[in-house]
Structure 1
Amino acid sequence: MSPVSAVPAADSAVALTHFSSLLSFETDCADVHAALEASDGLAMDFVLLDVRGPALFARGHVPRAVNLPHGKIVESKLADYPRDTLFVTYCAGPHCNGATRAAIRLARLGRPVKVMTGGVTGWLDEGFHLAIENEALA
């Protein structure tokens, strides 16, 4: 028996519930990129939040992202967005929990939120380019 099969897989119905629910909490770089391409400069149906600090944001970020470091997510910074605005958070990558911290803060404020898995690292791994201009909200 291998370490993989030593713990039995979940029942298929349980697995379906689990894996289906993950998509309620996260999206990936390819889906965000596709949404950016499809919007062709028009308003998107979500706000992409880069939750890293301003210096890292200035060095490169996902196009059309808004910089709002996770520690500065408060209601006053979100006042211009309707209450039902979906926020998608990302940070440096899988080694960073900033996107999760931001998602927690947004959820506590009653805002819809998903995390873009992979962050900047995942974005670059997919072969997508970063923007350099500064569009800071913080």
Structure 2
Amino acid sequence: MSWSARRAFREALLLVLLALPLAVGVNAIRPNGLPLLENFAEREAAVARTRFKTLSPLQAAELLKQGRAVFVDARQPDAFAMAHVPKAVNLTPAQAAAGAGRDLPRDKTIVIYCDGMACGASHAVAEELLRHGLDVAVLENGIEGWIMTRGPLERAE
């Protein structure tokens, strides 16, 4: 590398080293600054908890046992076919957006789940079903949490 190329590289590096703390400082004092060290999955889960009632797998299992809940699996049909909560209804976000799910019982809690913490499909379906006035709850940790607490499973026929 030539002397002028090295000098240009050093100057560019110096500019970046000077600009970086300035940018971080400006971002920190802005009221709507970007979160730099935030866990986005936790943030999304916290936002979802404020909009929807959530149930632990154990609470949901008790509702299932008492016959006071209808489970809605928001995953794609192939995942639903592999394993799902007994008597669950498969309702994807696209189906819910198209109006499916309106006929779910209004006298039961509709417990919606998808894959796990990072899956947003259950929240999308819950939004749609809330618009129809249904009693909606999202299953914490989705089917992963259900399986970890040894909840019963069945397979599509």
Normalised to the residue count of structure 2, the TM-score between the two structures is 0.59
Query: For each residue in 1:72-131, what CA deviation from the matched residue of structure 2 results, as whole angstroms up to 9, or x when unmatched?
Result: 115753353344543111001112111111111111233221101111110111122421
1:25 corresponds, among 27, 34, 53, to 53
Query: Where does the alignment leave 5 or more consecutive residues of structure 2 unmatched?
Result: 1-48
Aligned length: 108
Counterpart AA for 2:64: L
Q: Residue 51 of structure 1 aligns with which residue? A: 74
8 A contact 1:75–1:109 mirrored in 2: no
Deviations 1:5-57 (A, max 9, x none): xxxxxxxxxxxxxxxx96x71111111212323x3xxxx22211001111000
The correspondence of residues 111-126 of structure 1 with structure 2, limited to 5 A, is 111-126=134-149
**Structure holding more helix per residue:** 2
Unaligned runs of 5+ in 1: 1-20
Does 2:116 correspond to 1:93?
Answer: yes
Give the letter aligned to residue 126 of structure 2.
Answer: A
Larger radius of gyration: 2
For normalisation by structure 1, the TM-score amounts to 0.66
- Select the structure with the greater relative contact order (CA < 8 A; seq sep ≥ 6): 1
SS at match of 1:96: coil
The alignment partner of 2:55 has SS state of strand
Letter in 2 for 1:89: I
- Judge conservation of contact 2:102–2:129 (CA < 8 Å) in 1: no
